[in-house]
Homo-oligomer: A and B are copies of this chain.
Amino acid sequence: MTDMKEKLHFACDYARGAHPDILQRMLETNGMKTAGYGLDEISESARKRIREACGCEAAAVEFLVGGTQTNAVMIDALLKSYQGVIAAETGHISVHEAGAIEFGGHKVLVLPHRFGKISANSVENYLKEYYNDANREHMVMPGMLYLSHPTEYGTLYSKEELQAFRSVCDRYEICLYVDGARLAYALACTENDVTLKDLAQLCDAFYIGGTKCGALFGEAAVVPDPGKIPHLFTIIKQHGALLAKGRLLGIQFDELFRNERYMRIGEPAIRAAERIRCALRERGYRLHFASPTNQIFCVMENDALDQLGEKVEYGFWEKFDDDHTVTRFATDWATTEDETKALIDVL
C-alpha cells in the first residue's frame, strides 16, 4: 500500500509505467474506433513486426495481458488433458502462480535447479526413468518442457543448451516452451547468444515479455507452427484472457518492435546492473552467484539490512545463514544513471 517515491526502488522490474512512445501512441490512437479482440490493424502490424524479428512469417502471434495468464493459456493449449509439464523447481509456474497450471488440470513435474537452471541431461534422465517405469501409465505423462530465459535467477541458457533441450524434446516427443517474461534483458546482455530467431526455430511456443520490458502490460505468445494449437483464440477466451480492446496490446508491441527496439530496450538495465555488481564487489560484498542480466543477488549481513531498507526498496530472496540474507536488486529498462549512482552511494 506504499508509494515508493521517497525511496530508491530496486525491488522489482515492474514498478513503473511504460516507454514514453507507448503512451504517446495510446494518446494518438485513443479516439480511433477499431475492431476488438486483437483483430485490428495495429495489432496486425505488431504481429508482422514480431514475425519478422523472429524470422518466421508463418508464426501465430497472440497478445496476452500477463505472464501467469500466458503460461496458463499456452501450457494448457499445448498439453493433452492428461499430461504434465516439466520445470525447474524454481520455475515461475512451479512456485509463484498460485496453482494456475493445476487449475487447468496439469501437474508441474519439478527438477532440481542450479541457480534457476536445469540441464538437458536431467530432463533426459527424467524422461528415461519415466519411460522405463513399469508403472508409468499410473503416473502423469510428461508432455512439455518449460524453461524461462532468463531464469527467475537472472541466469541464461546458451544456444547450445537450448539445442540440447530441443534434441531431448524431439527424442521423447514433448513440446518445448520458453517463458520470456524478461526476454529483453537476455537480448541486451553480451553473455547471451540466443536470438528471437533461435527461439522461433527451437520452441513449439514461447512468449516475449512486455510487462517487465517496457510495456504497461502485455506478453506476446509466439507459435512458430500455428497448426500445433488450433483454436488458440477460443482457448484464450475460455481462460478469461481475451482483451476486448485488443489494440491496446497491439499498440504496445508495435512500439516495442518498431525498428527492433525490443532488442535494445533492456540495455540500460544491463549497464546499471553491471555497475551495481562492480560496486558491490568493490565494497567487499559477496554476490551469491553470477547472474548476467538485470537481477543482482547479494549476500548481506542481516544487521545492515534495516538501515539499507530505510533508503532502498530491495527484494528479500532467501536466508543465507543465521546472520546473512540473500537480497535481490532489480534494474529495469528505464533505470537511470542517477538512480544507479544513488544506490551505489548507499551500499
Contact = CB atoms under 8 A, between A and B. Distances in A.
Contacts of A23: 23, 26-27, 30
This chain: how many copies in the complex? 4
Given A98-B238, A137-B233, A231-B137, A15 B1 contact: no
A233 B98 CA distance: 10
B36 A15 contact: yes
A179 B108 CA distance: 23
B139 A98 contact: yes
Interface residues of A, number: 86
Interface stretch (A66-74, A154-162, A257-265): A66-74
Interface in A183-236: 211-212, 216-217, 230-231, 233-235
Interface string A96-134: 111110111111100000000000000000000000001
Contact of A240 (B105, B217, B239): B239
A18 interface: yes
Interface in A233-251: 233-235, 237-245, 248
A41 to B, nearest CB: 5
Interface of A: 1-5, 9, 12, 14-18, 20, 23, 26-27, 29-36, 39-42, 44, 65-73, 76-77, 80-82, 84, 95-100, 102-108, 134-135, 137-141, 211-212, 216-217, 230-231, 233-235, 237-245, 248, 313, 316, 334
